[in-house]
Structure 1
Amino acid sequence: MNIYHYTSIKNLALILESKKMKFTRLDNVNDPYDGTVNDYESSQKLVYVSCFTKREDDSLPMWSMYTNNMNGVRIKFGHNLFGEIENKFWNGTAARERTINYFGGDENTVIFGPILIEYKSNVNDIQCSIISEGPGLKLFDPLRIGLYKLDDWSFEEEVRYKILSFNAMIGGPREGSVFEEKMEQVKEYIYEDIKWILVDLYEPALKKAEILLGPKVDEADEIIIRALVEKYLPSIKVTKSEKKVV
């Protein structure tokens, strides 16, 4: 599966120079409901996402929303842009591990994805529960955060990668205080000052990327883009959108 990322020329320069992609904490994305749940108030602050689309056609709404009035680019990647899948976590979600921990400590960071967003008709449907109860047991599952969005966003056909600020499910007896005490510890993994993180792109995947110039990229900006590509990643193919806008 190929995926696509719409962005500005300035952000393209940062991506090519650093060979990194930004993951944004869910309380800082453009959809205020993204990552909200009905049983944990701070859910958005536990998850960081990097967002793409699986739409193969270049979309005027996407150009308009994410590329500085259509004067930007769309980058095409393979699904392995953060590395090859190494494991399966929680309900078969694809994942790869990194030895660098972006939040301190000595545990590896897990990158989950690609995850296809599911779209729902109302807020109650997207605000799922992440605390479940079984026979004598309660379970807190943070991987369920950020899986759903409202139908208003369905035109994006979003695919995302996700990093949790801690890589664990939390379980405990339904009776007594053990589970509640563990849930108090979750607050330690809310990093108020870390609103985004930069993650290394997988070099082989980056070399196979392609760039599509936006409908309003003029001759001067095209020269800038091609110069950036030539300097940092000359293997990338550059073409221009055929969409016509005034």
Structure 2
Amino acid sequence: MPIFHYTNVQSLALILHSKKIRFTRLDLLDDLKEIDGLPDNIESSFFVSCWTEESEENLSLWSLYTRMQGVRIELPQKFYKEYKHPKGDYGHWGFSEETICPINIEEFRTDEYIISNPFWLEDGFYIKVIYDKNYKELKESAILKTEKETGINHIKNLIIYKNPIWEFQKESRFYLMANPLPPLSDFDGDRIKQMKNISLGRINNSCDHIDIGINPEVLDSIVVRLYPNCEYSDELIVRSILDKFTKNGKIEHSNLNGTYRTK
């Protein structure tokens, strides 16, 4: 299944050069209400990459995310590399069963955070956004509190709901939950002690993004659609970027050419 992402030419160049897709921290997105309904102690724990499954071009997305001067990237929904992690303990953390996911073992736990997605679930990494006027209350209802502890009824429920004013986006998103780790220096470099002291809410994530690698074969066949009424000079720039970083990258012209008056 193809998915689509509207962006500027500079971001296209960075994606092709780095061979990675960037996940941005939820509290830094353009929707200032994204974190409404989330407990304060996990507002900085979610990272997302925003796409749409709608193949029909969307003038609002062209305008909002490219300022009518960018591109629309097309990739398959499973654009990422996959890594197989055996069941086992990796130092006070691990996998209860063999897990296949888009993150290698070195990136699963860094000095700053540890990823905690339920990758074994169909919706443990990729979801379609639900637009509901009660988005805040729906997220709050996913927090399960008892006298002894607080839990989450599937972490997707904290980032799947949005204000209906954004419904024009028809968004699908990839998500990561990255629990921030206390500084390793506090434990004399002992990662096991660091993991024993992990606690949601003690600290916020210091990083503002996480990058996920793209399957090289997928990247080589990326499809890039030019903005409506694209200037030939801009087309040449995009072609040169694709020629430099891909073998079979394809350019498409907008279906909205001649239907939109450039201002």
Corresponding position of 1:79: 77
Which one of the candidate residues 191, 201, 223 is aligned to 1:187?
201
Post-superposition, which runs of at least 4 consecutive aligned residues in structure 1 deviate over 6 A?
A: none
CA distance 1:183–1:7, change in 2 (3 Å): same
Deviation string 1:107-135 (CA, Å, 9 cap, x unpaired) is 6675742211111024544543342147x
- TM (norm. structure 2) is 0.74
How far, CA to CA, are the matches of 2:140 and 2:80 in structure 1? 28
Structure 2 counterparts to residues 231-246 of structure 1, below 5 A: 231-243=244-256, 244-246=259-261
How far, CA to CA, are the matches of 2:69 and 2:156 in structure 1? 35
AA paired with 2:169?
Answer: E
Segment of structure 1 superposing worse, 4-13 or 96-105? 96-105
How far, CA to CA, are the matches of 2:113 and 2:198 in structure 1? 21
Task: Specify the SS of the correspondent of 2:239.
Answer: helix
1:184 Cα offset (Å): 8.5
Corresponding position of 2:163: 150
Corresponding position of 1:101: 108
AA paired with 1:207?
Answer: D
CA distance 1:85–1:78, change in 2 (3 Å): farther
CA distance 1:154–1:12, change in 2 (3 Å): same
1:72 Cα offset (Å): 0.6
How far, CA to CA, are the matches of 2:103 and 2:240 in structure 1? 34
Deviation string 1:62-106 (CA, Å, 9 cap, x unpaired) is 100111x2111001111111235969x9xxxx9544222364279
Contact 1:71-1:216 at 8 Å conserved across structures: no
How far, CA to CA, are the matches of 1:63 and 1:156 in structure 2? 11
Flag structure 2 segments of 5+ consecutive residues without an equivalent: 86-94, 181-195
CA distance 1:160–1:86, change in 2 (3 Å): farther
**Number of aligned pairs?**
223
How far, CA to CA, are the matches of 1:103 and 1:109 in structure 2? 12
How far, CA to CA, are the matches of 1:124 and 1:47 in structure 2? 16
How far, CA to CA, are the matches of 1:10 and 1:107 in structure 2? 30
Bigger strand share: 1
Corresponding position of 1:26: 26
Corresponding position of 1:173: none
CA distance 1:115–1:95, change in 2 (3 Å): farther
- TM (norm. structure 1) is 0.79
Corresponding position of 2:178: 165
How far, CA to CA, are the matches of 1:28 and 1:96 in structure 2? 23
How far, CA to CA, are the matches of 2:108 and 2:243 in structure 1? 32
AA paired with 2:104?
Answer: R
Deviation string 1:173-223 (CA, Å, 9 cap, x unpaired) is xxxxxxxxx9991124621x3111222112222223211101142111100
Matched-pair identity in % = 26
Flag structure 1 segments of 5+ consecutive residues without an equivalent: 168-181
1:4 Cα offset (Å): 0.4
Segment of structure 1 superposing worse, 145-154 or 193-202? 193-202
Corresponding position of 2:64: 65
Task: Specify the SS of the correspondent of 2:237.
Answer: helix
RMSD: 3.0
1:145 Cα offset (Å): 2.0
Which one of the candidate residues 136, 143, 146 is aligned to 1:131?
143
Corresponding position of 1:16: 16
How far, CA to CA, are the matches of 2:10 and 2:112 in structure 1? 33
